[in-house]
Structure formats: C-alpha cells, structure tokens
Structure 1
C-alpha cells in the first residue's frame, strides 16, 4: 500500500509575518514554534518565516514574507479569494464572541449572514486581507 503525503501546515503569504502570526496566535490559541517567539530586542531580521503550533506541538499555520500582496475584492470578482479558511464554533453566542475578538485583533468584516437559520456565518479578513469564515458548525 502506497503512503500518501501528509499536510504539514498551511502557509499564508503576508507583507508582515509577525503581525499576522500574532493575529492568528491570539485568535486560535496557538503558540509559536520554538525559536519563532518574538524577541525582546524587537529584531525582525528573522521574521520572514514563522510557524504556529497547537497545544500538542503540531504545526498548523506558517507565515511567509512577500514584498507585495493584493487584497481580495470579494465578493466582487476583480481579485478572487484564492483561498480561505473555515473556523467553526458551537453556537451563535460563541459566533458573536469570536467575531468581536477577531475584529479587536484587526479583522475586517466582509459579509454577515447571521440571519441564515441553517448556517449563520461571518466572512472576515485577517489584517493582511486573507478572508476566513466563522460559522456555527
């Protein structure tokens, strides 16, 4: 039986890897991979690539510096989403709590479909403009 590749993590391009990693670290409760933690000196020389891990030390998200990044214009089609991540919460109270937390951390609201009784959701962008969905699942 042939072995299949296994996903290591998802890499997100950004012009500011530290800022975006910190957004997702706080939003999702992840930690920095050893060696990727912010340095007291504020030296950003090594901030071109960093990884977040879950509570078991499994890699979840990585952040890669790019010189330029065009934000999505979704729902308009000029610049498509290209990729987005879905996050679920157990109920509408948690949906509202996590939407508010995301916005406090720098997210921007794109779409509110909380009036849908079958699948209430928000589409927001992270500080770099990558869209993600928060919904009751």
Structure 2
C-alpha cells in the first residue's frame, strides 16, 4: 500500500483567547499579528493544521528571552512532544505571560517538527 502523504499548514498566529490546556477546544484567534503587546492573561502562538499524520509524534520547542526561574537560574527553552490523534488535526503551540512582564519582552520563537522536518517556525515579538 502506498504511504500516505502528510501535509500541514500554518493556519493562524498571533493573539488568542485564554486556553484551557486540558480542553479539546483550541483557543480562539483574536488578532493575526507577529507583534503582541504584553498584558495579563495574554495568550499567543499559532495553530498548525496537520493532515494524514495520525499516530505520528510532533516535537515542539519555544525559545524565549532569558528570564530566571524560581531557583534564580536562566530558564531553558520549553520543549515537548505530542502525538497526533487524528488524520485531520489542529495543533496549538503557544504560551502566556506572567509577572514580572519586563523579562518576557522580546522574541519568542515557536518551532514544530515531525520526523526531523520543521513544519512551522514562527517568531512572535512581545512588547511592553
């Protein structure tokens, strides 16, 4: 049997409504932009639509401005993985900001990969 072709599309990016991470529903797009003003409860990121990849692993990485964690150490990039659970899948990669806000300002690079191939690579700049 022929191997199914996997396709993907960076569907939207920018500011989103608050997101309940345990919910199946993705956050709602509020504004398409790559420059976001920092404010409480801000959610930012992108939605990637992936087709034909059920059961495949998606790796993600969020590179952010240097800020300290609760131990006073510089926080490393956020990394993780997720398994695609349907052949017509929407994946949200993003984050929110927390106080203090000034050390969160700057470029946040969001990268999604599958089997070593970059599917999406987007920089969103957070501004004070």
- Bin of the TM-score, shorter chain as denominator length: under 0.3
TM-score by length of 1: 0.24
Q: Which has the higher strand share?
A: 2
Higher relative contact order (CA 8 A, sep 6+): 2
Work out which of the two has the higher radius of gyration on C-alpha atoms and give 1 or 2.
1
